[in-house]
Amino acid sequence: MEALKINSDRLWDSLMVMAKIGGTAKGGCCRLALTDLDKQGRELYIKWAEEAGCTVKVDAVGNIMCTRPGEDMSLPPVGTGSHLDTQPTGGKFDGVYGVLAGLEVVRTMNDQGIKTKHPIEISVWTNEEGSRFAPAMMGSGVVSGRFTLQEILDTKDVDGLRLGDELERIGFAGETPVTGRQFHAFFETHIEQGPYLEAEEKQVGVVTGGQGQRWYNAVLTGRESHAGTTPMHLRSDALIASSQLVLKVEEIAKAHPPGCGTVGFMQVMPNSRNTIPGEISMSIDLRHPIDEELTKMDEALKAAIKEIEATGPTIALDPFWYYEPIHFNEDCVNAVRQATVDLGYSHMDIIAGAGHDACYVSDFAPTSMIFTPCLDGISHNEIESTTQEECEGGCSVLLNAMLTMAEVV
Ligand code: GLV
Ligand code: MN
Ligand code: MN
């Protein structure tokens, strides 16, 4: 069969309409997981999926599954999907593109009257971002068995709101069990969120795996005291200690290229300009594509903490999330590469730097990903940008890779 193309204008229009839900003044999107805006985004998406003839189910962790029937409904579906939640200062494409690309695949199949042997299923995974509720990739993590449903429902945000209660509140605590999901194959389309495709002038990234991650919470305790009366040599300033730790995280990442290290969240207590900070809560995010290197970064972090503690403050480190580097399924990777070649796009193999739901889906199903370029490699930023042509390319590759696996009848 000749390689098919999706409807580029329709995909782009859908992206722009979805981006209005939580749209920010700087052209980005703020649609945090399980907020009223997340509810609105989910409802719009379900309306579109039903209009495209899909049946819709919601599971107990809020994952949405939209199915286009196949000729043999006893076969596992060929799946795609991503997430609709965003960072607080997120863009219009991170996650959303992968969901709406799935919808566009179904719409194109409808236009062309294509029937497949396997059903087609589009997933919206709950809380991929891990911003409001940590860690990330919760919905796919529960389905893969990495997390228990109960521990995820009991997770709280920074205001103490429980994820399970928020899920109920927005009407997405569904009835479908989280166990027993299967895919014949699963593909996730995503903007690259990094600079490599643009630098190499490639239209498509054939994603062969994802780097490993370690997430920590650290609480540093010093002693609150008066900013004007406490001599410098008698202070135990938790903010100074945490600043030293931030610099150590940077040093550790730079010592283990191409590893990354980030402190993105910090709370200063009591956060008063004339009281020396007594307690700091902060996040630490370490990543590396090679597990042994990630282990070395973890060891270096623990050594750095001992060093800083020797100067006075106590530091409680909670290493609450880890996943090892992921290697995607060879058949799925080949299906993506072949679709790219058939469509005539330039391409390169690439490793995902971000976390993606596909990383957890690959625990239980043959999986791979498709990347497309984004302007200056910038993501997790309101200015995140890509073009209609770039979105069209990744989505057409998705369509053809899915058709290969789903078998056209
Ligand atoms: C998710 O966006 C992550 O990689 O942190
Ligand atoms: Mn994403
Ligand atoms: Mn993201």
Q: What is the pLDDT of residues 39-48, one digit of tens each?
A: 999 999 999 9
Residue type, 251: E
Q: What is the pLDDT of residues 253-278, one digit of tens each?
A: 999 999 999 999 999 999 999 999 99
The answer to whether residue 1 scores a pLDDT higher than 90 is: no
The answer to whether residue 133 scores a pLDDT higher than 80 is: yes
How many angstroms is it from 356 CA to the middle of ligand 2? Answer: 6
Ligand 1, atom 2, lies closest to the CA of 129
What confidence category does residue 2 fall into, taking pLDDT thresholds of 50, 70 and 90? confident
Q: Of 105, 78, 103, 81, whose CA–CA distance to 183 is shortest?
A: 78
- What CATH architecture does domain 212-323 belong to? 2-Layer Sandwich (3.30)
In the chain, how many H helices and how many E strands?
12, 14
Using CA atoms, how far apart are residues 329 and 134, in angstroms rounded to an integer? 27
Using CA atoms, how far apart are residues 291 and 276, in angstroms rounded to an integer? 39
Using CA atoms, how far apart are residues 97 and 92, in angstroms rounded to an integer? 8
How many angstroms is it from 178 CA to the middle of ligand 1? Answer: 22
What confidence category does residue 306 fall into, taking pLDDT thresholds of 50, 70 and 90? very high
Ordered DSSP codes for 126-195: S--S-SSSSSS-HHHHHHHTSS-HHHHHT-B-TT--BHHHHHHHTT---SB-SS----SEEEEEEE--SS
How many angstroms is it from 361 CA to the middle of ligand 3? Answer: 17
Q: For 66, phi and psi rounded to 5 degrees? A: -115, 125
Residues near ligand 1 with C-beta < 6 Å? 129-130, 136, 354-355
User: Residue 241 in contact with residue 315, Cβ under 8 Å?
Assistant: yes
Cα torsion 42, 48, 52, 55: sign: positive
Give the predicted TM-score (pTM) of the model: 0.96
How many angstroms is it from 369 CA to the middle of ligand 3? Answer: 15
Residue 137 CA: nearest ligand 1 atom is: 1
State the average pLDDT for the chain: 98
Q: Which of 31, 82, 129 to mutate to test the pocket of ligand 1 (most atoms within 8 A of CB)?
A: 129
Query: Token match 């605590």: residue?
Result: 173
Q: What is the pLDDT of residues 192-245, one digit of tens each?
A: 999 999 999 999 999 999 999 999 999 999 999 999 999 999 999 999 999 999
Which ligand minimizes its atom distance to the CA of 264?
1
Q: What CATH number labels 8-211+325-406?
A: 3.40.630.10
What is the pLDDT, as a whole number, of residue 18? 98
Which ligand minimizes its atom distance to the CA of 190?
2
* Residues forming CATH 3.40.630.10 domain(s) in the chain: 8-211+325-406
How many angstroms is it from 246 CA to the middle of ligand 2? Answer: 25
Residue 285 CA: nearest ligand 1 atom is: 5
Q: Which of 85, 131, 207, 356 to mutate to test the pocket of ligand 1 (most atoms within 8 A of CB)?
A: 356
Q: Which of 207, 380, 381, 384 to mutate to test the pocket of ligand 1 (most atoms within 8 A of CB)?
A: 380
* Residues forming CATH 3.30.70.360 domain(s) in the chain: 212-323
The answer to whether residue 391 scores a pLDDT higher than 90 is: yes
